[in-house]
Structure formats: structure tokens, C-alpha cells
Amino acid sequence: MRIEQHPLTASMPGTTRTLPSLHFGPETSTRKAYIQCALHADEPPGLLVGWYLRQRLADLEAQGSVLERIVLVPMANPIGLQQRILGRGLGRFELSSGENFNRNYAELSEAAFDRLQAILRERAPNLAEVRTVLRDAANALRCDTELDSLRATLLGLAIDADLVLDLHCDNEAVMHLYTTNWSWQTFAPLAGLLGARAALLSDDSGGGPFDESCSMLLGKLAALIAARTDHRFAAEFACEATTVELRGETDVTHDFARTDAEAIVDFLIHRGYIAGDPVAVPTPCTATPLEGSMPVPAPVGGVLIHRAPLGATVSKGELIAEILDPSAGSLTPVFSPVDGLLFARESGRVVPAGLRIAKVAGSVALRRGKLLTA
Ligand SMILES: [Zn+2]
């Protein structure tokens, strides 16, 4: 295991934070898997899974079993980890800017295209050449703020990977994942191994989340090259990425984390990154469109009482929660908007009107526009 330390641009003198990345496998390998833990710093299940992965990968490397490059970022967001207000952690948004740590990653296709001009005068670039200019473009990103620096560092570590796993969690949730339609075939075995109950697919969820910033880039670059020259390069979908939601934010147990890390190792064996006999993959869940994942807002503010268990299959119009207004003495029912799987719920039990208190994964695409929460 080789450890690299990446100092972030300090927002104030004397406050430099450092992001570690752990590197396994032969540096000369052309294939690379990238795994990062808790980009939203208050989503700790991935931090424990990362700790198990770190040990397993080190052992496997010592045995000579890591066949390709694997990069693990065991704590992707030291900025968010330190953010606390009145005793509570707040790791989803950067406090000084209000920006979500998992949005607004740089779109590097134009910068990469500029750097490929010399090659494009003669021929299409190959994948190795494209990845070289992508790394250069990520390294050249302007980092005035600590947040810019964090985003550029993470993007630079992942931009030349074939496989990207971004480990998050929801408030209260069953295991689920997000990926693109075209990568579902790749990640269906991971969903099966992890025991995911839902897989939400979208080719552009909006907002530039980390996984899509990696997986969409080569397709965008290929489109730019096709539109501006006669050349094509045959690597449009060379990077496949998924965001894995490791249940809920309090689901931090050794049993869960050990099992989840082992599922990821089994997936890497299945993909040929680690030597070993692939285990039988359990039948994965049925994937549904992200456009069919329906957030359920609280119709009024008050005390939230969930009435349907996590992971329940619910019907449109079925009671899933109630909200108590203790001053008026009223109980307002909340119904599922669609048939589907109740895969995530709000963890707070006092909620304002409009807050999303549950998510139901339906099979019919009903939403458009930006599909992720802020
Ligand atoms: Zn998250």
C-alpha cells in the first residue's frame, strides 16, 4: 500500500488540511478502480467500510492478488468532518459557501479537447492519451478555495479510472445505489453482492454529482470530438461509476461494514481487479428509473411518525406516515404517491412543512429536470 497525502488549499493561514489516498496494485496497470468514502462527511458507514477495505486490500496485495490499480480514499471530506454546529455534525454542505460537497464538479471535456488539438490534426486519440490530458486538465483546475481544492483533488484521483464507487448513505434507508442506464449491467452484480434493494438509474440526474462527472466525461468528450472533427475515439463509456448508499447514517456496525467491504472485494474479483474465484452473485434487485423515485414532502410541520417500515412495498395512496400538530391537536396523514419500494426515510422526528420525509422508488418515470436533492 502506497499512501499519498494531498494538502488542500487552506482557506485561512495555518489551517491546511490533508486528504490521504491509498494506492494498491501494480502502478503499471492500465486498469484502475477508484473508491471513495463519505464525500458527505456526516455519512459515516462508508468510513468504516473503507477501514475494512484498507486492511483487506493490503492483505490481498501482500499475497500478490491485487492485479490492477485500486485507489481508496478512506475519508473523502476532511472539511465537512470538522463542521459542527451546536454539537451536531454537518457534512453535506460546506458552511462558508452553502454548496453541496457532491455537486458542481468541473466539466473537463473542453479543457481536454484543447489539449488534444495536436493529435486531432492527424488522428483520433487513444484512451491512454485521453486520460493523460484529463489528468493534466484536472491538475490545472484553479483552486482558490478549500472546496475547489477538495473537488479538484478527488476528481484528479478518479478521472482516469475505469470503475468508480462513491460510498454514501441516506438518512434512514435500505441498501441502494445510483448509476446510469448503460452501466447497470456492470453494477448489477455489485447490487446483488451488497444485497441492494433498489437501483435507481438516470443518464443525467442534474447538478454534476461526483459519479456522473467521472462517468459522463468521456461521452461528452467523444461528442465534442465528433462535432468538431471527423475523428472519433472508441472509449466513450470507458469509465463507469456508481453512488452506493450504505443504508442509513446510524447503520455503522462491524457486521454491516465487514460484509459490505467483502461484497466490494467480491465485486472487484468479479471484474478482474483482484485474483480469486468469483463467488456466485445473488440475483440483483430490479432497477427502476431515478425519474420514478418519488420524494414525499411533509404537507405540514410537526412531529413525524413513520407508519410504514423501511423496505416496505407500498401502494399508491397507502398511509406511510403521520404528522402531529401538537398545538392544534391534529394528525395529518401522509400517503405514498406511487406504487413502489419505500427505500429511504427522514431520520429527524420533528419536521417543517415541505421537508422530504420519505422516498418511494416507483417503476414509472414521472419526474424531470434536476432529480437529486439540493
Ligand atoms: Zn451522500
Residues bordering ligand 1, an ion, CB closer than 5 Å = 40, 43, 168
Interval between CA 174 and ligand 1 midpoint (Å): 14
Query: 270, 285, 300 — which closes off a domain?
Result: 285
Interval between CA 311 and ligand 1 midpoint (Å): 19
- Whether 68 contacts 160, CB under 8 Å: no
Query: 261, 285, 309 — which closes off a domain?
Result: 285
- 221 and 176 together in one domain: yes
> Would you state the cell numbers that stand for residue 138, as one nine-digit string?
484536472
Interval between CA 328 and ligand 1 midpoint (Å): 36
- 212 and 327 together in one domain: no
Q: Is the dihedral of CA 327, 331, 336, 337 positive or negative?
A: negative
Interval between CA 21 and ligand 1 midpoint (Å): 19
**What is residue 371's predicted lDDT score, i.e. its pLDDT?**
67
- 186 and 305 together in one domain: no
H-assigned helices in the chain: 45-62, 78-82, 109-115, 117-120, 127-139, 146-158, 184-194, 210-215, 217-228, 254-270
Interval between CA 164 and ligand 1 midpoint (Å): 15
- 85 and 159 together in one domain: yes
**What is residue 232's predicted lDDT score, i.e. its pLDDT?**
78
- 312 and 258 together in one domain: no
Confirm whether 370 is domain-assigned. no
Interval between CA 102 and ligand 1 midpoint (Å): 7
**What is residue 372's predicted lDDT score, i.e. its pLDDT?**
72
Q: Which residue has the cell 442506464?
A: 181
Query: Which residues constitute the domain of residue 226?
Result: 2-285
Interval between CA 91 and ligand 1 midpoint (Å): 9
Interval between CA 84 and ligand 1 midpoint (Å): 17
- 77 and 63 together in one domain: yes
**What is residue 234's predicted lDDT score, i.e. its pLDDT?**
72
Interval between CA 276 and ligand 1 midpoint (Å): 31
CATH label of the domain that carries residue 241: 3.40.630.10
Q: Which residue has the cell 489551517?
A: 15
Number of domains within the chain: 2
Interval between CA 326 and ligand 1 midpoint (Å): 32
Interval between CA 246 and ligand 1 midpoint (Å): 10
- 256 and 303 together in one domain: no
Interval between CA 99 and ligand 1 midpoint (Å): 13
CA separation for the pair 172, 189 (Å, rounded): 24
- 15 and 59 together in one domain: yes
Around 38, how many Cα atoms within 13 Å sit in the side-chain half-sphere? 25
Query: 251, 285, 319 — which closes off a domain?
Result: 285
Interval between CA 96 and ligand 1 midpoint (Å): 19
- Whether 301 contacts 352, CB under 8 Å: yes
Confirm whether 80 is domain-assigned. yes
Residues 6+ apart with CB under 8 A from 90: 42, 80, 83, 84
**Beta strands 176-179 and 198-201, pairing class:** parallel
Q: Which residue has the cell 391537536?
A: 329
Interval between CA 170 and ligand 1 midpoint (Å): 7
pTM above 0.85, yes or no: yes
Interval between CA 39 and ligand 1 midpoint (Å): 7
Confirm whether 133 is domain-assigned. yes
- 91 and 239 together in one domain: yes
Interval between CA 331 and ligand 1 midpoint (Å): 31
Interval between CA 117 and ligand 1 midpoint (Å): 37
- 274 and 303 together in one domain: no
Interval between CA 236 and ligand 1 midpoint (Å): 27
SS3 content of the chain, % helix, strand, coil (to 5): 30, 25, 45
Interval between CA 179 and ligand 1 midpoint (Å): 14
Interval between CA 43 and ligand 1 midpoint (Å): 6
- 42 and 172 together in one domain: yes
**What is residue 25's predicted lDDT score, i.e. its pLDDT?**
98
CATH label of the domain that carries residue 294: 2.40.50.100
pLDDT by residue for the chain (374 residues), tens only, comes to 999 999 999 989 999 999 999 999 999 999 999 999 999 999 999 999 999 999 999 999 999 999 999 999 999 999 999 999 999 999 999 999 999 999 999 999 999 999 999 999 889 899 999 999 999 999 999 999 999 999 999 999 999 999 999 999 999 999 999 999 999 999 999 999 999 999 999 988 777 899 999 999 998 999 899 888 888 777 777 899 999 999 999 999 999 999 999 999 999 999 999 999 999 999 999 999 999 999 999 999 999 999 999 999 999 999 999 999 999 999 999 999 999 999 999 999 999 999 999 999 999 888 777 767 76
